[in-house]
């Protein structure tokens, strides 16, 4: 046993993730990682490209601790989606450009309708919603990854929450409860 500056080392090498470890993670978590890619890109073809690029980046990445490999895989999805889509806040608008939603879809209480609600968000708001609400990234982390201000993130999160709340139940006065009900409908596997 070696002690250096109060840190005790057993002399055992730290376990790093290998390319095979990342392949296993992507194989085990295919549905969740693809769904994450799809929610971010908003397009099935781009989601597939994002997923494949993230797998390739992960297998070729620098040494990552095995314990961090799952979260690193999700981060690779974010990085590739961000690189592909380049979401940016639009400083000319206070309100986001939300796509129109078919009213028949609005009344459904299914996860399909929940996905439609997320996909109907503007690109930047969708990225912020997925990162901050579904994946629980902090506003600071979102602003760093999206290369924008924390104010931009907070504004986009508020706009996304208002949109999602009105999608779930336009008459519900409590947006927080509506948002919580909505978030329960989207099933994204938790990070391990």
Q: What is the largest CA-CA distance in the chain?
A: 67
Q: What is the pLDDT of residues 39-70, one digit of tens each?
A: 999 999 999 999 999 999 999 977 899 999 99
Q: Where are the beta strands (DSSP E) in 134-187?
A: none
Express as a percent the part of the chain with pLDDT over 70: 68
How much is the pLDDT for 12? 55
Ordered by start, the domain boundaries in the chain are 16-86, 89-186
| Secondary structure of residue 9 in the 3-state scheme | strand
What pLDDT score does 148 carry? 95
pTM here is: 0.74
pLDDT tens digit sequence for 28-40: 999 999 999 999 9
Cβ-in-10-Å burial (0-12, 13-18, 19+) of 18 comes to: middle
* pLDDT digit string, tens, across residues 101-115: 333 333 334 456 688
Q: Are 89 and 148 in contact (CB under 8 A)?
A: yes
């Amino acid at each position: 046993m070696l002690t250096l500056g109060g840190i005790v080392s057993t002399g055992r090498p730290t376990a790093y993730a290998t390319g095979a470890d990342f392949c296993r993670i992507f194989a085990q978590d295919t549905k969740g990682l693809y769904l994450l890619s799809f929610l971010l890109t908003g397009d099935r073809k781009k989601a597939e490209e994002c997923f494949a690029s993230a797998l390739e980046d992960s297998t070729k990445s620098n040494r990552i601790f095995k314990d961090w490999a799952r979260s690193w895989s999700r981060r690779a999805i974010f990085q590739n989606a961000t690189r592909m889509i380049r979401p940016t806040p639009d400083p000319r608008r206070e309100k986001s450009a939300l796509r129109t939603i078919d009213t028949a879809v609005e009344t459904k209480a299914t996860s399909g309708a929940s996905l439609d609600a997320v996909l109907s968000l503007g690109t930047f708001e969708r990225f912020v919603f997925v990162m901050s609400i579904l994946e629980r990234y902090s506003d600071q982390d979102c602003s760093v990854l999206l290369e924008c201000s924390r104010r931009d993130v907070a504004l986009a999160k508020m706009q996304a929450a208002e949109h999602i709340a009105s999608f779930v139940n336009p008459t519900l006065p409590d947006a927080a409860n509506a948002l919580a009900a909505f978030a329960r409908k989207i099933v994204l596997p938790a990070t391990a």
